[in-house]
Amino acid sequence: MSGAATPDTSFGKVPSRTADLNETWDFLHRGVEHIMLHLEKGLSFSHYTNLYTTVYNYCTSTKMQGKLEGNRSGANLVGADLYQKLTVYLQEHFKPLLLKFDTLQDEELLRYYAQEWDRYTTGANYLNRLFTYLNRYWVKRERDEGKKTVYQVYTLALAQWKSGVFMHIQGHDTKLAGALLRMIERQRNGDVVDQGLIKKVVDSFVSLGLDNSDPNKECLDVYKEHFEIPFLDATDKYYRQESEAFLAQNSVSDYLKKAEDRLKEEEDRVERYLHTKTRKDLISRCENVLIREHLELMQDSFQRLLDYDQDEDLQRMYALLARIPDGLEPLRKRFESHVKQAGLSAVSKLSGEGAGANADSLDPKAYVDALLEVHRKNSETVQRSFKGEAGFAASLDKACREFVNRNAATGTSSTKSPELIAKHADMLLRKNNKMAEEDDLEGALNRVMILFKYLEDKDVFQTFYTTKLSKRLIHGVSASDEAEASMISKLKEACGFEYTNKLQRMFTDMSLSKDLTDNFKERMQQTHDDMDINFSIMVLGTNFWPLNPPTHDFLIPTEIAPTYDRFQKYYQSKHSGRKLTWLWNYSKNELRTNYLNQKYMLMTSSYQMAVLMQYNKHDTLSLEELVAATAVSKEILTQVLAVLVKAKILINDEAEQYDLNPNFKSKKIRVNLNQPIKAEVKQESSEVLKAVDEDRKYVIQATIVRIMKARKTMKNQALIQEVISQISQRFAPKIPDIKKAIETLLEKEYIERVDGQKDTFAYVA
């Protein structure tokens, strides 16, 4: 209670318990005056106690008797008189202050106001405690009886300041709020201002709001009417003028920084000296003026920012427009268009605008790299500039789906992209693959899966991939079993067990074939001492391997015929009900030369082996003789011979005459002649697409039956839509194909038309 200074002792003699109003107030007045004007001089505990006791004695006095206004006693009336005396004192207390306020302007006015407000509210707090008894009983009873304009002493002091000081200064010209707004404008203009002073004055506006029904409840009426509304209007005006003037002389990129800074400043302003409830309206007003009113201009500059990779500006634009409902949607659409165009351009550059016609000669690695680079760059933009926002991620996916499936390399074909990506995966998974050596193979496979996700015709990829895998396994050229298993696992995760079932069965067949070969060799060693051919066999399930037997006959060379016959008998003895179809077009051999000084090992296809075996007995043979000796078609045999001539094993000096080259030389002891021939490569592609078409027919039919079994009856259009929905993850079904499948199932009596109902089908149980 006491300060460092010597306490004031001039309050006079303490009134007796029976003192009247005038004597009581004379003593209290001197104490109140000291508290309101000279509190810095201190107040001793004894003086404080004397003042408190005087209030208590007077309020509990029974000297005045008699009934007034019904049952109200004189003691209660004494409380009213004291309340009235205090009210009048406060009103008189303001008069010298008002004279001073009238002479001040702007910051001087605010400083004096803040100083006197501090002094006044500190004093009012002391008075509130001094008049505790008045508050607790008389004021409470008055309020309980419905007199809501009777307040506790501290609230009374605020109410009197509001009517006697605040409203006088504020007046019709909003002098006090005007001074605040001019100070805030100076700060917005870059001047350093006393933010603590602004906060003190603004806080007083909050404190002066009174809710008569509950004085303890925060009421922002005064703050809103006299400060917040004019402040928000001034903010509107200020930023509208500033933004228009700034944009007239600066770029949109510069404006983005300006708007970002201004919004941060206003957030900071709320933290430093405004009421927190102003934040929502203030930021909304700023967003409207700084962003919404210039929305079109910002959106129009978005393309330029993308074209020049201006990441920081893109981040700012995203952060600003994200504040506005639907502010980002036009950007998402432009981003989608930008990514799509980038993808199309990247593919066009690989082999010129007419790349569709040259797609067969397109390097799968170059194609995949071009697509991935566009995805990588724009995916980074989504993460870095757009914070990975779902809408931009969806725009990226939509654009990638477009250019991955339809571009200059694909032309009008929906199967070309899956084919090229499958071929690239095949290259990655082969032995001696430079890409795998230069780069992390697992990472390269993950990047393949990025593009796989966007393929519409995943079944085409699946069929090409299966075909390529079968070749890798048959020829033993897989990079590793681990890499193969990893890729199958990725495909399984993306498309489910059914998608990879065949792939996994192929590995099972390879394992069983190794055991079969070992067992066969063991048996032969026991029964045939003359078996000098190193022989291994792969027995592959027809349903799981995409392999087709040769379309022409093949005469088995006499050198391998005994081994062939022995294995046939051995296999039939183990599996009597099974039929073996020999795939000579996929088989391979190794031949050792004996006619040259240097011994070479020639790695050949079965057809090359069949041709070279003929030269054990002849030095020269005609094309017709070779056709007769091997039974291989003339078209394929011509290409087989071309490889042998190119390798200089055979000499073709005369038309259709082929001589064994007695002077053959090679730098390598092992010479690989087993190169794919054009007829086989072309046939593979057409066979894959034919297989895809066949599979699709059955998939569509099976899907229709499954749907109809569950639904029992369905209208034509609803059935078509449901089929599309269920199959679209695997491929994009064409409506005519679905209609054809429905007709097929009607013929097979899996479904039937419902009598009397147009275009409605029923499941036939």
Q: In what order do the strands lie in the sheet with 588-592?
A: 588-592, 601-605, 670-672
Question: What is residue 548's predicted lDDT score, i.e. its pLDDT?
Answer: 83
Residue 8: what pLDDT?
A: 44
The angle formed by the CA atoms of residues 499, 502 and 507, to the nearest 5 degrees, is: 130
| Mean pLDDT for all residues in the chain | 89
Contact, 610 vs 632, CB < 8 A?
Answer: yes
**pLDDT(331) > 70:** yes
631's tokens: 């039974």
Q: Kindly state the average pLDDT of the residues 369-393.
A: 97
Question: DSSP assignment, residue 723?
Answer: H
Q: Are 204 and 137 in contact (CB under 8 A)?
A: no
Tell me, yes or no, whether 185 lies in a domain.
no
CA distances from 527 to 520, 524, 550, 682 (A): 11, 5, 32, 44
Closest by CA to 535, choosing from 520, 547, 550, is: 520
CATH of the domain at 615: 3.30.230.130
Domain presence at residue 456: no
Q: What is the CATH number of the domain that holds 707?
A: 1.10.10.10
Residue 5 pLDDT class (50, 70, 90 cuts)? very low
Distance linking the first and last C-alpha atoms of the chain: 97
pLDDT in tens, 604-655: 999 999 999 999 999 999 999 999 999 999 989 999 999 999 999 999 988 8
Range of the domain at 82: 21-169
Count of the separate structural domains present in the chain = 3
Looking at the fold, whether 76 and 118 belong to one and the same domain comes out as yes
Q: Both 63 and 89 in a single domain?
A: yes
Whether 53 contacts 14, CB under 8 Å: yes
> Which amino acid does the sequence have at 81?
D
Residue 565 pLDDT > 80: yes
Adjacent-strand bridge partners of 651: 659
Check whether residue 31 and residue 145 sit in a common domain. yes
Residue 286 confidence (pLDDT): 97
Question: In angstroms, what CA-CA distances link 200 with 103, 225, 349?
Answer: 21, 18, 67
Check: CB of residue 149 under 8 Å from CB of residue 213: no
Partner residues linked to 601 by β-bridges: 592, 670
Task: Give CA–CA dist 319/312, Å, rounded.
Answer: 11
**Contact of 5 with 41, CB cutoff 8 Å:** yes
664 shares its domain with 695: no
According to DSSP, the residues that pair with 602 across neighbouring strands are 591, 671
| Number of helices (H), then strands (E), in the chain | 32, 9
Domain of residue 87, CATH code: 1.20.1310.10
50, two tokens: 């004397």
240 in a structural domain: no
Look at residue 646 in the predicted model and tell me its pLDDT.
93
Q: Is residue 664 part of a domain?
A: yes
pLDDT band of residue 547 (cuts 50, 70, 90) is confident
Partners of 760 in beta bridges: 715
Residues of 495-533 as b/e, b for ≥16 C-beta within 10 angstroms?
beeebbebbeebbebbeebeebbeebeeebeeeeeeeee
pLDDT-derived band at 687 (thresholds 50, 70, 90) equals confident
3-state helix, strand, coil in the chain (%, to 5): 65, 5, 30
Q: Is there a domain that residue 32 lies in?
A: yes
Helix ranges, 478-536 (H)? 481-495, 497-527
Same domain, 657 and 688: no
Long-range contacts of 85-91 (CB under 8 A, 24+ apart): 85/21, 85/25, 85/28, 85/29, 86/32, 86/127, 86/131, 86/153, 86/156, 87/156, 87/160, 89/29, 89/32, 90/156, 90/157, 90/160, 90/161, 90/164, 91/160, 91/164
Q: Angle, nearest 10°, between helix axes 295-307 and 252-273?
A: 120
Six token digits for residue 455: 């393929």
Last residue of a domain, one of 134, 169, 204: 169
CB 404, CB 417: distance < 8 Å: yes
Which of 433, 654, 680, 669 lies closest to 550, judged by CA? Answer: 680
Residue 113, both tokens? 């106001």
Q: Give yes or no: residues 42 and 153 share one domain.
A: yes
Tokens 């509990």 correspond to 60
Tokens of 326: 């639907």
- For 379-404, what is the mean pLDDT? 97
- Could you give the CA distance from residue 721 to residue 709 in angstroms, rounded to a whole number? 16
Q: Are residues 696 and 633 in the same domain?
A: no
Q: Which of 378-382, 459-463, 593-597 has the highest average model confidence (pLDDT)?
A: 378-382
Does 622 share its domain with 699?
no
- Answer whether residue 142 is part of any domain: yes
Any domain includes 238: no
- Nearest Cα to 246, choosing from 289, 288, 287? 289
Q: Are 609 and 632 in contact (CB under 8 A)?
A: no
Residue 44 and residue 161 in one domain: yes
- Asked if residue 114 has pLDDT above 70, the reply is yes
User: Are residues 671 and 698 both part of a single domain?
Assistant: no
Please give the structure tokens belonging to residue 318.
């995203």
Beta bridge pairs of residue 715:
760
Q: Look at 74-78, 490-494, 520-524 and tell me which has the smallest mean pLDDT.
A: 74-78
The predicted model gives 389-398 an average pLDDT of 97
Q: What is the pLDDT of residue 2?
A: 42
Q: Which of 142, 169, 196 is the last residue of a domain?
A: 169
Percent pLDDT > 90 in the chain is 69
pLDDT exceeds cutoff 50 at 75: no
Domain match, 650 and 706 both: no
For residues 97-101, average pLDDT: 95
Same domain, yes or no, for 66 and 156? yes
pLDDT at 355 over 50: no
The answer to whether residue 741 sits within a structural domain is yes
Cβ-in-10-Å burial (0-12, 13-18, 19+) of 65 comes to exposed
pLDDT (mean) for 703-725 = 92
Domain end (from 639, 660, 675): 675
